[in-house]
């Protein structure tokens, strides 16, 4: 299999690359232009901003996995940051989709990252792939992000939008940021703690991408989450128990908002209770179906 991965140096992309290379896949990274390692690695380069991409080298790929996008948790959501979050996803996806659509031999499948932020804050309501989108900033971005792949879809490429939940890893992302605090016994719930968190482990994210590539019947939106979403209070209690630490110091909502602004409501204080209906109907076997199993697997060597 010959595969191209955008965002290949990120948390998910780097893990996916390692797994596929170990399985003897021919893996290429799609790097931002210009890139000094281009001649050494043989990877492809692109620049959605300037409209540059090595179109001729896209021919004959078996699959493309598009993970590139500005980190939503990298800083306060100023006007500039919001534009970067939005444009990196929508413009990048539209540009890549159009380039693939022009190929003489396009890939069979394009797997695009999306997010459960598509649904907005849903309280305790269960959501699946046919649930309507929310109306907040991240929901509007997710809707446009998925629509930006229309050119590839119209060209007959099978497009899968993996709506990822919070990806748990000891080496990056939300869990890695929480670990030092919880190991000191200073962790606790965020706000009232009743907000639902739809999550998955990093190995699960890689496994779901491979499943999406291999399952020819799978197309459109797919919730990439574990089957058991948990409340924030449950998550913090479970993490503390796995680390053998207390979790008695909650972070009040007002403090989170003071520190992070609008981002606190969108990423920490709101909730989505998402069911991976299409994965379950397709026969996917979960590696880590419950939170404690996932955390023990992720932290076994580091806790």
Q: How far apart are CA 233 and CA 235, in angstroms?
A: 5
pLDDT at position 172: 87
Work out whether the CA dihedral 8, 111, 298, 285 comes out positive or negative: negative
| Residue-level pLDDT at 302 | 43
Q: Which residues contact 145 (CB under 8 A, 6 or more apart)?
A: 89, 90, 93, 112, 114
Distance CA 109, CA 112 (A): 10
Name the nearest CA neighbour of 29 among 5, 61, 52: 5
Question: For 128-158, b where at least 16 C-beta lie within 10 A, e where not — what string?
Answer: ebebeebebbbbbbbbebbebbebbbebebb
Nearest in space to 179 (alpha carbons), one of 245, 225, 230, 234:
245
How many domains does the chain divide into?
A: 1
**Which pLDDT does position 86 carry in this prediction?**
94
CA 281/CA 149 separation, integer angstroms: 24
Per-residue pLDDT of the chain (303 residues; tens, 9 = 90+): 999 999 999 999 999 999 999 999 999 999 887 655 544 466 888 988 888 888 888 999 999 999 998 888 777 778 898 899 999 999 999 999 999 999 999 999 999 999 999 999 988 999 999 999 999 999 999 999 999 999 999 999 999 999 999 999 999 888 888 888 889 898 888 888 899 999 999 999 999 999 999 999 999 999 999 999 999 999 999 999 999 998 888 776 666 566 546 555 555 667 899 999 999 999 999 999 999 999 999 998 444
Give me the phi and psi of 259, to 5 degrees please. -80, -35
* pLDDT at res. 166: 92
CATH number at residue 118: 3.40.50.720
Domain of residue 126, residue span: 2-299
- Extract the tokens encoding 11: 């948390």
Widest CA span in the chain: 59
């Amino acid at each position: 299999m010959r595969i191209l991965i955008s965002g290949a140096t990120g948390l998910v992309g780097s893990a996916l690359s390692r797994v596929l290379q170990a399985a003897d896949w021919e893996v290429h990274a799609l790097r931002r232009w210009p890139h000094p390692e281009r001649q050494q690695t043989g990877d492809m380069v692109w620049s959605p901003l300037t409209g540059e991409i090595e179109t001729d080298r896209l021919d004959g790929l078996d699959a493309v996995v598009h993970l590139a996008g500005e980190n939503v948790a990298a800083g306060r959501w100023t006007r500039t940051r919001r534009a970067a979050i939005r444009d990196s996803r929508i413009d990048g996806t539209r540009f890549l989709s159009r380039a693939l659509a022009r190929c003489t031999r396009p890939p069979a499948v394009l797997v695009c990252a999306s997010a459960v932020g598509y649904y907005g804050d849903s309280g305790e309501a269960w959501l699946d792939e046919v649930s309507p989108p929310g109306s907040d900033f991240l929901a509007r971005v997710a809707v446009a992000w998925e629509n930006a792949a229309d050119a590839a879809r119209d060209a007959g490429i099978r497009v899968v939008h993996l709506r990822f939940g919070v990806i748990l890893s000891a080496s990056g992302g939300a869990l890695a940021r929480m670990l030092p605090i919880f190991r000191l016994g200073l962790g606790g719930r965020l706000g009232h703690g009743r907000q639902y968190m739809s999550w998955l482990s990093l190995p699960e994210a890689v496994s779901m991408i491979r499943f999406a590539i291999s399952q020819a019947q799978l197309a459109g939106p797919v919730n990439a989450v574990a089957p058991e979403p948990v409340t924030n209070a449950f998550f913090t209690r479970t993490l503390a128990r796995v680390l053998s630490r207390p979790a008695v110091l909650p972070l009040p909502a007002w403090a989170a908002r003071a520190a992070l602004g609008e981002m606190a409501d969108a990423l920490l204080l709101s909730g989505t209770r998402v069911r991976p209906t299409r994965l379950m109907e397709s026969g996917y076997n979960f590696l880590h179906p419950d939170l404690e199993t996932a955390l023990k697997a992720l932290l076994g060597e580091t806790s």
